[in-house]
């Protein structure tokens, strides 16, 4: 009777054990020869079922030596099948791959510290990725070999970029290369630099760029420099003010000046660029002395041409946005001066400083009797300077 009672209690105890629960003292064996050594699950630990990414301190690293963030800490957590953290002492191994920039294969690759570790009492383990001097993408995952299977984390990707400024990737530009500041104070022109590293990536934000100019005043922001943003850009403003590029300080000719930007690259190398700015003045209308001052256009006929220049007082093209409008009763016009809007240019020539047009009868099917009186009027409008309005010729249109 007593033996039957003991056997019943034994069956009852077996029945309340968790179905499928593996012994916490199970020893895992390597999957293949040369794999990680078998791990011993501590008696105090639950059995691991998943490895999850807990945190990454920074997904973006800068090239080593640039002074920006050069390392990131990746933390994993080992959990059981119910999602609860397991105990400490479980070894963790890592898969660490680096895909370098394919255009520049020089430099040292990132590295991992330590190459393996064990979980703490909270089931967590951390590893540090240290950048090298080469840009690219790191792919990192963690794994635990468990006998015939391995549990692994999802891969985390970390970019390594933002190296030192590089001369080949240093670009200086202006909003207007023809700057209408010769005759008016405090007109502004936006000057922008894009600073990249040798891997074609933006440099680390906060890289200092020094601006200076031969004439006028350029803003700097922080001390004598501007600081790049996350995309490698920094912009400042050139203001029209004394000294102006005229007379004895017009080193490149009246109206012409330069803006400079510079920074320091790898090994202290100077990175420098400059752009030429034309300071232009108010528009001046210069008509050809041979232009007709009168006309008598027959039915369907044409008169002209009228030739003229629009330049500033030094004979340079005026700035962007200047428009030309030609009008006349019963007339239509043809030529490069018709409905013209000035582009941003420092060049002279046809359609920039030199213009021409002809006038024709607007209604060739009907003759006007008597002929219609008309005057050819040119109106020049400028976004900064005062405009010009002049009558070039008077006459009749039949």
Position 37 scores a pLDDT of 60
Which residue spans of the chain are classified as CATH 2.60.40.10?
Answer: 24-161, 167-279
Q: Cα-Cα-Cα-Cα dihedral of 383, 389, 390, 394, to 10°?
A: 120
Edge to edge, the sheet with strand 331-335 lists 284-287, 302-311, 354-361, 331-335
Express each pLDDT in 100-124 by its tens digit: 877 666 778 999 999 889 999 999 9
Structure tokens at 24: 């916490």
CATH topology of domain 284-397: Immunoglobulin-like (2.60.40)
Q: What is the average pLDDT score of the chain?
A: 88
Position 367 pLDDT exceeds 90: no
State the pLDDT confidence band at 41, using cuts at 50, 70 and 90: low
DSSP string, 268-330: G-EEEEEEEEEE----EEEE-TTS-SEEEEPTT-EEEEEEEEEE-TTSPPPPTT-EEEEE-TT
pLDDT at 388: 98
Domain topology for 24-161 = Immunoglobulin-like (2.60.40)
Q: What is the DSSP letter of 365?
A: T
Q: Sign of the C-alpha dihedral, residues 321, 322, 328, 332?
A: negative
The pLDDT tens digits of the residues spanning 302-350 come to: 999 999 999 999 999 999 999 999 999 999 999 999 999 999 999 999 9
Residue with tokens 């400083």: 353
CA distance 115 to 91: 11
pTM of the model: 0.75
Q: Is the pLDDT of residue 225 over 80?
A: no
Please name the residue that has the structure tokens 């990454």.
Answer: 56
User: CA nearest 346: which of 317, 315, 323?
Assistant: 317
Whether the Cβ atoms of residue 58 and residue 110 lie closer than 8 Å to each other:
no
Would you say residue 33 has pLDDT above 80? no
Collect contacts of 244-251 with beta carbons under 8 A, ≥24 apart.
244/181, 244/182, 244/215, 244/216, 244/279, 245/214, 245/215, 245/279, 246/182, 249/214, 249/215, 251/214
Residue 73 has a CB neighbour count (10 Å cut-off) of 12
Residue 22 pLDDT > 60:
no
> Which CATH superfamily does the domain covering 167-279 fall into?
Immunoglobulins (2.60.40.10)
- 390: which strand partners? 378
């Amino acid at each position: 009777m007593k033996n039957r009672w003991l056997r019943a209690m034994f069956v009852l105890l077996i029945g309340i054990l968790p179905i499928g629960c593996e012994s916490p003292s199970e020893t895992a064996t390597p999957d293949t020869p040369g794999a990680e050594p078998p791990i011993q699950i501590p008696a105090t630990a639950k059995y691991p079922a998943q490895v999850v990414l807990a945190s990454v301190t920074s997904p973006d690293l800068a090239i080593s030596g640039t002074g920006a963030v050069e390392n990131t800490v990746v933390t994993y957590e080992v959990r059981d099948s119910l999602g609860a953290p397991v105990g400490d002492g479980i070894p963790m191994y890592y898969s660490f791959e680096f895909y370098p920039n394919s255009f520049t294969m020089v430099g040292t690759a990132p590295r991992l510290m330590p190459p393996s570790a064990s979980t703490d009492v909270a089931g967590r383990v951390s590893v540090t990725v240290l950048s090298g001097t080469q840009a690219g993408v790191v792919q990192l995952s963690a794994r635990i070999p468990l006998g015939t299977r391995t549990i692994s984390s999802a891969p985390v990707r970390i970019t390594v970029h933002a190296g030192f400024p590089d001369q080949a990737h240093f670009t200086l530009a202006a909003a207007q290369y023809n700057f209408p500041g010769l005759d008016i104070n405090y007109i502004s022109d936006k000057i922008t630099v894009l600073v990249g590293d040798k891997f074609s990536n933006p440099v680390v934000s906060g890289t200092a760029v020094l601006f200076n100019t031969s004439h006028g005043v350029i803003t700097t922001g922080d001390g004598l420099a501007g600081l790049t943003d996350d995309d490698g850009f920094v912009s400042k403003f050139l203001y029209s003010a004394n000294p102006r590029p005229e007379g004895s300080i017009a080193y490149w000719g009246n109206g012409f000046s330069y803006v400079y930007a510079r920074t320091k690259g790898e090994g202290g190398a100077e990175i420098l660029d400059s752009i030429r700015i034309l300071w232009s003045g108010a528009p001046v209308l210069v008509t050809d002395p041979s232009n007709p001052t009168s006309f008598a256009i027959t039915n369907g006929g044409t008169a002209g041409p009228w030739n003229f220049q629009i330049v500033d007082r030094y004979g340079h093209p005026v700035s962007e946005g200047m428009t030309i409008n030609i009008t006349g009763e019963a007339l239509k016009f043809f030529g490069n001066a018709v409905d013209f809007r000035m582009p941003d240019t420092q060049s002279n020539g046809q359609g920039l400083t030199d213009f021409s047009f002809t006038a024709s009868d607007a209604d060739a099917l009907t003759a006007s009797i008597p002929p219609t009186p008309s005057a050819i009027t040119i109106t020049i409008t400028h976004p900064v300077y005062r405009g010009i309005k002049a009558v070039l010729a008077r006459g009749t249109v039949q």
